Structure 1
Amino acid sequence: MDNAPLVRWPGDREEEEDEIQTLSRSKALVAKVCNESKKLWYLAGPSILIAVFQFSLFAVTQTFSGHLGATQLAAVAMGNLVISGIGYGFLMGMGSALETLCGQAFGAGQLHMLGIYMQRSWIILTVTATLISPVFVFAGPILKLLGQTAQVSEVAGKFSIWIIPQLFAYGFNFPIQKFLQSQSKVIAMAWMSGACLAVHILLSWLCIMKLGWGLVGAAITLNFSWWLLVFVQLAYILLGSCPGAWTGFSCLAFKDLGGFIKISMASAIMLCLEYWFVMILIVLVGHLKTNAEIDVDATAICLNLDGWIIQVPIGFMAAISVRVSNELGAGRPKAAKFSVGVAVATSLTVGIFFMVIILITRTSFPALFTNDPKVMAEVSRISSFLALTIVLNSIQPVLSGVAVGAGWQAVVSYVNLGCYFLVGLSAAALLGYKFDLGVKGIWGGMLLGFVAQMIILSVITFRTDWNKEASLAHDRVSTWEKSARVTTTNDVF
């Protein structure tokens, strides 16, 4: 019996072949995911560092200011999140138009257009910064009009006037970043951002704490650090690190500004609605009947920490924007679609990890930001809302990055308007004031807005006809490239 021949029943061979094919497909899928993950992390890793380093310029200033007193902390929070947030959000949004244009042009091999796009964006953003600057000048009265306390409004108003030079640094920095990012030169950007942050930390300690310059010292260091970053990146470009993409200053930068403004405005509205949503919620917190200063400080600390952590999905946002725009520009729609799935899954995993860390350290991490026991207790009380926000924010920026890479800014603007303001803001006001839930109610409304937006963007993303998007990308690149053709050789100087 032991030597009896193995009996093969009908269908055994077919089952074995199916198993082999299934195993082969599984191995191929795993290999494909690993390959895409390598590409994604190559971009996302340095992009995360860049986002963390540059956000830390604000966060470090706010952290040092928190040790000056509760009023100073609230004033810097209002200056950074409300007043500076207006300029930051709008200029960053307008600059993000380059993610679509430069990314798709790079994928299509139209390198010479990248430098022209960047110069056009410089012109538009500098004019925009000039138009926005009165908001900084009249920040104090604006905050009072919004119902903030007289003391916080006055201090925040003075701080906002001092950081006006920083506004114009944004106008140069964001286009430079998108220009370099589209070429995957993110490692160099990370080194430059890290060096500027190190300088900023040293100067902040020296000017705010050691020399006792207070909030004036905080404003001076912020201005210096942002302009240092601009000049370091600009030197990197001008010294020949971007051959083909940078061919010199060109008169073509002044051509077709109308069309460029149109796509820049769509990008600005898309991102501004996100920034303004959080900004208005901070203002709502300041109107609560309880101790408004403690509520504002606690909310600012949580948003500060969330701002640090969200830089990770923002890094994935930058990476997926480059991947999608490059693949669509190169005419590879299936590769773009696959990259989206890998990016969402990876970012969500990271978000869950941070959520667990926040919940474990909910009673200890507030001490990093303030010495006030009342503020620390309030931060611990609302930390569960912070943890949930972190998970939702691990998905939303990635989907926004897909939208930017594909050029859907106008559509997402309507989505953001409806979800943030019709759903989120209405719910926040209702829960916070009508049902007297305070900070938890306002934050709960914000979460509802995030959830609504995430659901709609997910449906849009995963029902997209990627072949059609690749065709649209080809048409877009061809249109802009044709408009830049010249018949003379005297356009560069």
Structure 2
Amino acid sequence: MGLWKKAVPEEAKKQLWLAGPMIFVCVFQYSLQLISLMFVGHLDVLLLAGASLATSFVNATGFHVLMGMSSALDTFCGQAYGAKQFDMLGVHTQSAMLALTLATIPMSIIWAYLKPILLVLHQDKTIATQAQLYARYLIPSLSANGLLRCIIKFLQAQNIVFPMVLATGLTSLLHLILCWAFVQKLGLGFKGAAIAICISNWFNTILLVLYIWFSPSCKTTWTGFSRESLHIIPKFLRLAFPSTLMVCLESWTFEIMVLLSGALPDATLQTSVLSICLNTSGIFWMIPSGVSAAGSTRISNELGAGSPKAAYLAVQVTMFLAFIVGLLEFASLMLLWKVWGRAFTNVHEVVKYVTLMMPIVASSTFIDSLQTGFQGVARGCGWQKIGAFINLGSYYLLGLPFSFVSAFVFHMKGQGLFLGLVIALIVQVVCFLFITLRANWEKEANKAEKRVGGRGIQLEDLPR
């Protein structure tokens, strides 16, 4: 018991040391699109609608796909680092970089011819034209974003987080200056906002590449380019595919929610309110995402090191932190529930509707914090395939049908749509909890040994 009391605070300290900086990294990365949209919003309503539609589509078909593919490195790099197979971190990262770069080719084609796709989805022709133009100017950011996500996973697995905070922070500052210069001073309009995103992504990528190249911290993990990375691409893709599904099945649900809100009576009000609620969820998601990133790193490190007891302790601490974060977020939103809508708009009807939605939104942030923590556990253990099935069932077999029936059959409108999301999150949490409690951590450590060629389980790590 004494060792347990000592081990828990020590593990919590390690995870908080990682989670804090990763929250800032997530916020800074998220800020690029937000800053660009804010500048476009001061130009013209049509341009804002086109940029918003394009942003939603490029996230669904590009950036979220790259995020999902790169999350396979949470498993490979994290476990390789724990197993002290340091050179394999660079090899796995190079393999991922090549795979993600190749994946950007079809994405670029889709973005270049976005208008016909949007018209098939019954979007306004004028808005679709502007969305296609904005998406085309974003194409150069695709490859940069893919490389950047791989680099972040590479550094995160080694617990190197503060250089990422500095690089992403400087990038956000540069992006603000670029948007002001391109949009307002040079008169490039919303094209300038898209160009600024491209430059900022490449700037962030180059900064971190220079850090890896010159920093002594990465000398053992980045030993130059290796042909072995070409041979393990199939191995990477076998985990990257379910990783992508796990991420995208969830993120696509939010895009479907927005489309469904547009089919409700008084679509303008419903879409506006739902957008505010989803943006609120996105803002509050940043904190548990940092906890999730820290948890996946610690769990994968311990499994790679062949320490099942330490890995399970890391799981427990991750979920405890996710629970505390969820409670704090719920309490914060409930304290602000009557005034939160005013942060987004002064329209009385919208503010009143947002106030009605806030208890549901607050509940969703609490549950979402738990499921985000479990997503980190899944990535750390290499459970992406299981996670993909859980997300498919919870969102598409239960959540979305419940949303549709509640909104359109029982006429609960926006509240009904969001209740379906809450139901899906609850099912996710229950399923992940069941999988985690039934996991055999000795077997998980052996799987990690086979995955990275580590030393496997040590006798002192086995429970007595």
TM-score, normalised with respect to structure 2: 0.92
How many residues get paired?
454
Counterpart secondary structure, 1:254:
helix
Q: For residue 291 of structure 2, what is the aligned residue in structure 1?
A: 316
Q: Which runs of 5+ in 2 are unaligned?
A: 455-464
Q: Which stretch of the first structure deviates more once superposed, 214-223 or 171-180?
A: 214-223
1:101 lines up with 2:76 in the alignment: yes
- Once the two structures are TM-superposed, the CA of residue 373 in structure 1 deviates from its matched residue by 5.2
Report the Cα distance in structure 2 between the residues aligned to 1:169 and 1:231, rounded to whole angstroms: 9
The structural deviation recorded for 1:302 is 2.6
Kept after mapping to 2: 8 A contact 1:76/1:156: yes
String of CA shifts for 1:92-150, please: whole Å, max 9, x gaps.
11111111011111000100111111111111101111112222123233223223333
Alignment counterpart, residue 414 of structure 2, candidates 439, 442, 450: 439
Which letter maps to 2:396?
A: F
Q: How far did residue 359 of structure 1 move?
A: 2.7
**1:85-124 pair list within 5 angstroms:** 85-124=60-99
The residue number in structure 2 matching 1:285 is: 261
Residue identity in the other structure for 1:94: M
Aligned ranges 1:92-491 → 2 under 5 Å: 92-209=67-184, 211-241=186-216, 242-292=218-268, 294-370=269-345, 374-478=349-453
Q: 1-side partners of 2:141 and 2:272: how far apart? A: 24
The match for 2:39 among 64, 70, 74 is 64
Mapped partners of 2:290, 2:125: distance in 1: 38
Tell me how far apart the structure 1 counterparts of residues 97 and 260 of structure 2 sit (CA, whole Å): 34
Distance across 1 between alignment mates of 2:187 and 2:282:
27
- Cα contact 2:273–2:354 (8 A) shared by 1: yes
| Counterparts in 2 of 1:321 and 1:86: CA distance versus 1, 3 Å | same
Structure of larger gyration radius: 1
User: Does the 8 A contact of 1:59 with 1:304 survive in 2?
Assistant: no
Change (3 A) 1:259 1:143: same
Look up the equivalent residue of 2:255 and give its one-letter code: M
Q: Is the 8 A contact 2:141 2:202 kept in 1?
A: yes
Cα distance in 1 between the residues matched to 2:351 and 2:116: 30
Cα deviation, 1:313-356, whole Å, max 9, x if unaligned, reads 11111101111100001111111111111111212212222222
Query: Aligned with 2:159: secondary structure?
Result: coil
CA distance in 2, matches of 1:297, 1:109: 50
SS of 1:382's equivalent?
helix
Residues 147 and 286 in structure 1, CA contact (< 8 A), matched pair in contact too: no
- Residue deviations 1:287-320, cap 9 Å, x none? 223133x433332233223212211111111101
Conserved 8 A contact 1:77-1:300: no
Cα offsets for 1:62-107 (capped at 9, x unmatched): 3334444554444333222333232111111111111101111100
| Structure 1 residues 89 and 213: CA distance shift in structure 2, 3 A | same
- Between the aligned partners of 1:221 and 1:434, the Cα distance in structure 2 is 44
**Measured at CA, do residues 156 and 289 of structure 1 come closer, stay the same or move farther in structure 2, by a change above 3 Å?**
farther
Say whether the 8 Å CA contact 2:261–2:267 is kept in structure 1. Answer: no
CA distance in 2, matches of 1:47, 1:464: 27
Aligned to 2:50: 75
Q: 1:369–1:261: structure 2 CA closer, same or farther, 3 Å change rule?
A: same
Unpaired stretches in structure 1, ≥5 consecutive residues:
1-24, 480-493
- Among all aligned residue pairs of Structure 1 and Structure 2, give the percentage whose two residues are the same amino acid: 35
Paired residues of 1:120 and 1:253 also in contact (CA < 8 A): yes
1:369 & 1:79 partners in 2: Cα distance?
Answer: 21
* Contact 1:332 1:470 (8 Å CA) reproduced: yes
Task: Provide the residue aligned with 1:3 in structure 2.
Answer: none
- How far apart, CA to CA, are the structure 2 residues paired with 1:237 and 1:309? 31
Aligned match of 1:482: none
Deviation at 1:388, TM superposition (A): 1.7
Asked if 1 retains the 8 angstrom alpha-carbon contact of 2:19 and 2:291, the reply is yes
Structure 1 residues 154 and 296 mapped into 2: Cα distance closer, same or farther (>3 Å)?
farther
- The more displaced of 53-62 and 144-153 is 144-153
TM-score norm. by structure 1 comes to 0.87
* Residue pair 1:200, 1:221 contacting (<8 A) in 2 also: yes
Say which is worse superposed, 254-263 or 111-120, in terms of deviation. 254-263
